Amino acid sequence: MPEASRDRSSGTFGKNMKTDPAAPYFPFYMIGLVSIGLASWLWIKTRSKPANKKKWFDVSAIVTGIYVGVFMSFILGLWDQFYLIPFPLLACVFIIYLNMRFTFFCDSCGKRSFSQSWLSRVFHCPHCGHKLK
Ligand SMILES: [Zn+2]
């Protein structure tokens, strides 16, 4: 009986909607996030020059950050928590900044590295020792 089963499934869906209006969007969010991650990983991997890798890494950091920030704002809007929206947005901007500022693509060996010491002025490639800053 297709009629009855459809009624039952839409009933549970309706119940989920009531408990959390954001719940149906999370799978789409995860799919989007994974797609962005995979696409930028493949794109960056296939760039030949370290400078290009770095440029596209920055682009993907910004795109991912905006995507996460917009989704979080959207969810907070669904939850009627509008006054909380600036916090995830600021956190996203900060994470974008950290990613761009402290991720390096070595000119010498082409490998990616992330500087853990945010305050130090010099950083050497952990793979080959080439000076990165
Ligand atoms: Zn290196």
Mean pLDDT calculated for residue range 19-46? 95
pLDDT tens-digit map of 74-121: 999 999 999 999 999 999 999 999 999 999 999 999 999 999 887 888
45 CA to middle of ligand 1, Å? Answer: 15
pTM of the entire predicted model? 0.80
| C-alpha–C-alpha distance, residues 71 and 92, integer Å | 11
Average pLDDT, the chain: 88
Identify the bridge partners of residue 104 per DSSP, sorted by sequence position: 113
37 CA to middle of ligand 1, Å? Answer: 23
126 CA to middle of ligand 1, Å? Answer: 7
78 CA to middle of ligand 1, Å? Answer: 46
At residue 18 the predicted structure's pLDDT band, cuts being 50, 70 and 90, is: low
Please tell me the predicted confidence (pLDDT) of residue 82: 94
> CA 83: distance to chain centroid?
23
